[in-house]
Amino acid sequence: MRNLFLEWVHTRMSFNKSRAFLVAMLLWVGAFSQPMADQIQVVAITQDFASIAQEIGGDLVEVQPLIKGSRNLHHVTPRPSMVMKVKRADLLIRLGMGQDSWIDGLIQVARNARVFPGEHGYLDASVPIRKLEIPDHDLDGSMGDVHQHGNPHYWLDPYNGVLIAAQIRDHLSQLSPENRSEFEANYQRFSTELERKAKVWNDQLLAVKSQIFITYHKVWSYFFEAFNLTSIGELEPLPGIAPSIRHLSALKEQVSELQGPFVVLMADYYPAPAGRGFAKQIDARFVSAAPHVGEGDIDHYFDLFDTLVQAVLK
């Protein structure tokens, strides 16, 4: 005869064991998914800045980007997940120069006083940068998407990477004074290696110093200046305005008056057919490259320039 009581006990015990096992697993997963208690939570606008922050902070920081991979920063739509990242942040690193004004909205909604402007947890990385292409005249809509405070793509000069790293070191040291020496040591190691590699990249790019570059948009101005490369114009007639037949004809005529060779260099998020087609018309090399960490095999700030230099040299 079946003992219903023993069957109930056995079923109950099995259920409790299963539940206990499930709870234990959740706690185990949670323990490994949560940041260390003493880690500084860093949020950076892109993986370029996040990569540098990780180098300076090491194991003392957990770093998250708001934007991953290669993206046109002119067209960013804030998301609720971004608000949550900012809400938890101890340090927020922004691009600045009016290019990421949407971050102001994230700060307001997140209501995290640690990252309010003026606090140690707020970093506008553009402050010490020598800005290029600052307009010297009044702006209006007929001029296209001209940046009032200058060209914002400053991370594409590796020497600016050193300036970005120094600011991150200083802010982390303010947030965690007891670890100041470690942040300084990490900064020294990073900046020394970056400057060493910048000399290598410069030597490699000597092979294309005589070539003339044309771009789709003024993404590469800081890269060109850092390595003394020559650029004569853009496929866009005005910033943010799609190429027109009239403008491309004028640019083609300008090219015909110069001695090449020529290179059409485009950020990988712009339409490749436009660049490839114009390159064919002027008998130029066409290069599409990512201007951001996080795209393809570009996992680190150093990788960004290794990849870009090799793309330009091909």
What CATH number is attached to the domain comprising 189? 3.40.50.1980
Question: What distances in angstroms separate CA 189 from CA 62, 198, 201, 246, one per listed residue?
Answer: 19, 14, 18, 50
* pLDDT at residue 262, rounded to an integer: 97
Q: Nearest 5°: CA angle at 58, between 52 and 59?
A: 145
On whether both 216 and 294 belong to a single domain, the answer is yes
Element of type H or E holding 288 = strand 285-289
Sign of CA dihedral 214, 215, 221, 227: negative
On whether both 48 and 153 belong to a single domain, the answer is yes
Q: Does a structural domain hold residue 178?
A: yes
Please state the rounded mean pLDDT for residues 231-248.
Answer: 94
Q: What's the CA gap between 107 and 86, in Å, rounded? A: 7
Q: What's the CA gap between 56 and 39, in Å, rounded? A: 13
**Lowest-pLDDT choice from 69-73, 164-168, 218-222:** 69-73
Which residues, including other chains, have CB under 8 Å from residue 4's CB and lie 6 or more apart? none
**Lowest-pLDDT choice from 70-74, 188-192, 202-206, 209-213:** 70-74
Q: Please report where in the chains the tokens 């090449």 appear, as a residue.
A: 260
Burial of 141 (0-12, 13-18, 19+ CB in 10 A): exposed
Q: What's the CA gap between 79 and 81, in Å, rounded? A: 5
Is pLDDT of 147 > 80? no
User: How many structural domains compose the chain?
Assistant: 2
Give the side-chain half-sphere CA count within 13 A for 83: 10
Is pLDDT of 219 > 80? yes
Is pLDDT of 20 > 70? no
On whether both 174 and 209 belong to a single domain, the answer is no
| pTM for this model (two decimals) | 0.86
Report yes or no: 312 and 289 within 8 Å, Cβ to Cβ. yes
Q: What's the CA gap between 54 and 43, in Å, rounded? A: 11
On whether both 185 and 262 belong to a single domain, the answer is no
Q: What's the CA gap between 186 and 169, in Å, rounded? A: 8
Q: Does a structural domain hold residue 167?
A: yes
Q: Does a structural domain hold residue 184?
A: yes
What's the distance, CA 8 to chain centroid?
60
Is pLDDT of 142 > 90? no
Query: Average pLDDT of the chain?
Result: 88
Please state the rounded mean pLDDT for residues 200-208.
Answer: 98
Within the chain, how many helices (H) and strands (E) appear?
10, 8
On whether both 157 and 298 belong to a single domain, the answer is no
3-state secondary structure of 15: helix
Q: Does a structural domain hold residue 12?
A: no
On whether both 180 and 54 belong to a single domain, the answer is yes
**What is the per-residue pLDDT across 51-108, written as a single tens digit (0 to 9) for each?**
999 999 999 999 999 999 998 888 899 999 999 999 999 999 999 999 999 999 999 9
Range of the domain at 267: 202-313
Percent of the chain topping pLDDT 70: 85
On whether both 104 and 218 belong to a single domain, the answer is no
Q: Nearest 5°: CA angle at 153, between 88 and 309?
A: 110
